[in-house]
Structure 1
Amino acid sequence: MELTTGSLLRRITETDLSVSAHKLATIILDGIAWKDGYNGLPRGAAAFTLAALAERMGISRQYLSNLLGELAVSGLRLERRKPHGKYAPWLFRFGERIRENSKHGMSSGDDTSLFREESHKTIFSGKIKIGETGNVFQTRWAQLIKAVKTALPCWNVDTQVIWERFIAFNRQRGNVSVPAGYLLGFMRRWRNAPKTRQEETLAPETTVTVDPVQDELAALISAAPVRNRQFHEADLRRAIGQEGYDTRICEVVKRLGCPRFTATLAVHGRAVMVGEISR
């Protein structure tokens, strides 16, 4: 019989740990995926950055390292690894000894945990209609992308950017509707995304007509800071005021005819160019 969140939580409380280590183990348990692919994670793993864990615990990074070491040598045998590069979140997993030694921790048939294997379904289900909307936050997929990308190669890419790339990828292939699982697969292969059809067929001698409006928009967006976008937005709001910030976005929307999110990136790019905020 498989462990559930309830049985693993009982095992945590049975293990001799400090109060803070108990709390940390519970936080990690809360993020565990019990079905492979849920939230983009391997089965039995949870994804966190050390900064996020320290913030949730309200402790320093040094003390957090001590607590992680305590969990690693305890009966819980906490393991962690970072498969997606230096700046990606850590993947945490409780060791196999729990499954081998835990008798009291096994769930009975009366355990109604929401995280039992048989009741836990992959969240990417249904169909995605390509081109239904360009704004991911007007769909039900925004929160799913946010939750899943934390453990994937695109963990530091803006949710809207992921959505736009996914829509463009399928439009170029003439897809009108695709299974929702395609979105998860697209995010998993982010760094190895294939060339677009236009890139494959465009001859070197072909002359491309450049739209000045789109060219200006692309230049502004390329200058915009993508990582920690919210912090840069807050800096710009403080520099020019809320009214000035909103006015700039509205002016870009009217002048360049782009969605509000794209206009926001353009405003941030312009602010970087003139030195109002740093990249």
Structure 2
Amino acid sequence: MKRAYRYRFYPTPDQMENLAKTFGCVRYVYNRALAERHRAWSQEQRRISHAETDLMLTGWKRDPDTLWLAEPSKGPLQAALRNLQTAYVNFWGKRAGYPMFKRKGKTNDAATYFRNCFTFRDGRLKLAKQAAPLRIVWSRPFPEGAVPSRVTVSRNSRGQYHVSILVDCPIEALPAAGGQVGVDVGITSLVTLSTGERIANPRYERTDRVRLVRARRELSRKKKGSANRAKARLKVARIHGRIADRRRDHLHKLS
């Protein structure tokens, strides 16, 4: 099965500049391809295929007005077109809504690199058109000998950078336990097992939820486009991140 390992990394100033350009180009290519496909259907009642958008990308990179599309690696731009095609397939299959335009500052920036656009040797990951490998914090062990097939770098609203490395992991069958354990969900405790063991309820999340509601209420009162609204958005994102981190740590203790 395929499994993704996500880590935080700290880019150098040059890498930050390269990633900023890449994120912007990915957003532009996705939005422009979406606009072309929407126009073709609304005006000509025809569907534009993924292969056609790929040819359009080649023309955009040669256009004097958009020569800057050739500055970042071609891989993330092609991946953006694949993501758009997947969004349309899910829409046609009634598994999702109509694809939406990506707005700067409203969605997390992300770029996907396939195997020919990065190198991974001895625990050092280097992206195409970057001089140095990423400074990754290996917060959990990476499978020894695993060969990444895809890498996705992202930047959230708090300015934090993360990298998700996709690898193929074999599934090993676990030995049969031969026993049964009953689980009862409670109020004072999270769960109670039939063996008598009790797992405490993480009451801290209740406090964080109250803070999150207050932060969202403050955000809704701020004027759109103002600096105070940007600060309020960061506060909401920080609380969201704290809740996710605490939940992950709690689940790790349970396992």
Pairwise TM-score range, normalised by the shorter structure = under 0.3
Where relative contact order (Cα < 8 A, 6+ residues apart) is larger, the structure is 2
Name the one with the larger helix percent. 1
